[in-house]
Amino acid sequence: MTGCIYLARIPVNLIGRLKMLEELLIGHHSFTAWDVVGTSAGGMNASLTELNSLSHLAVLSLKIPKVERIPRDFVFPSLLKYDILLGDGLQVPVTIYPTSTVLYLDKTSATSLNAKTFEQLLKRLEHVEVNGCGDIRTLFPAKWRQALKNLRRVEIEDCQSLEEVFELGVADEGINEEKELPLLSSLTRLHLQWLPELKCIWKGPTRHVSLKSLIHLELQSLHKLTFIFTPSLAQSLFHLETLLILSCGELKHIIREEDDEREIISEPLRFPKLKTIFISECGKLEHVFPDCVSPSLGNLEEIMIRDAGNLKQIFYRGKGDALTTDDIINFPQLRKLSLFSISNCSFFAPKNFAAQLPSLQNLRIYGHEELDNLLIQLQVRPLYFYTNFFPFLI
């Protein structure tokens, strides 16, 4: 019944009598007038409680515009696939048939959400999108720890009170963490935008967290965030391809130099799949990556950094880092390098190290105070100077 925009009534107990029903698709832009009480007299609409009578139900798609319409003691059934929207969801894409497990929260009050209602959904949750939920301070509190095992996509926008995304906490009693899959090990995409109170992404110990599947990370307008990764988290970023950071004015470090858990990081950091680094309007950022990462960036294609006035080096000498014995580090796939308004930043922390850029096609530098020193590190010679409008070096 997806797209049935004029469907205004489903009689009481009609859904509950479909005992063998396996798939119920009342998707977006369709019926939303759920009644709170399913046993009302004739003429009233169906209630969500009728779903609990469908013992064979495996696939569900529906929209609940007001959380208050969910009965206090209601628990969603165990489902294989679902697409559930809580709120108005005007910007949510229409799904004809659920292909995964997706939960949308749009302008929904967190104080109205009953954790028990979503217990069954969290066990399989793969994709969550949150927009305009003003009173949420932690999206995934410690009691929702089980939801972190299958998550693949997390997208959060315009939540004015959100202070942390993942509260990691400790494992439940009786659970052997060593035998369990690491938390967030299936996460492929993380998008955080317009979260003015966000102080940290991961709160708590990260020793049982792995970001080994993370491909795309996009952070925008996070005005209180000071770092992104702990060293132990950064060690698992084997598949990261895209790193976009925009308008994070308090961000000082992408990778915090010290781990709160004081764990010994035995292996050097490596990002072998990283293709794109885009950083803009991060006025307090001091460094991008430690030097030890450089030899692993064989697939890096583009670096663009702008309006980062406090940037000292792109690749810095981290504590205990040991560079290779070579004086030149090769970036074989780097085709585009753009540096705008980054004052006197150098490419490497040690002045004697240089970057070999055999595939470079586009080099743009603007507003740099020590251009000669930078060009020496990049091992390039200026070919043309455009003095009109912007002094780009190409």
Q: For each successive 10 residues of the chain (394 residues), what is the average pLDDT?
A: 89 94 90 72 77 96 87 90 85 78 87 81 93 88 86 95 88 54 93 96 89 98 95 93 97 82 68 97 94 92 95 80 65 94 83 87 87 82 46 42
Helix (H) or strand (E) holding 20: none
Task: Characterize the bridge pairing of strands 354-356 and 328-330.
Answer: parallel
The per-residue pLDDT for range 345-385, each reduced to its tens digit, is 889 887 678 899 999 999 998 888 778 788 888 887 655 44
Give me 52's structure tokens. 């609990």
Name the region of 290 (left: φ>0; alpha: ψ -120 to 50; beta: rest).
beta
DSSP H stretches of helix in the chain: 119-122, 231-234, 371-378
Helix (H) and strand (E) counts for the chain?
3, 23
**Cβ atoms of residues 354 and 376 within 8 Å:** yes
Handedness of CA 71, 75, 81, 84 (dihedral sign): positive
The per-residue pLDDT for range 264-297, each reduced to its tens digit, is 566 778 999 999 999 999 999 999 998 889 999 9
Q: Which of 328, 274, 330 is nearest to 302 (CA)?
A: 274
Residues in the chain: 394
Q: Can you give the pTM of this predicted structure?
A: 0.89
- For the chain, the domains span 1-125
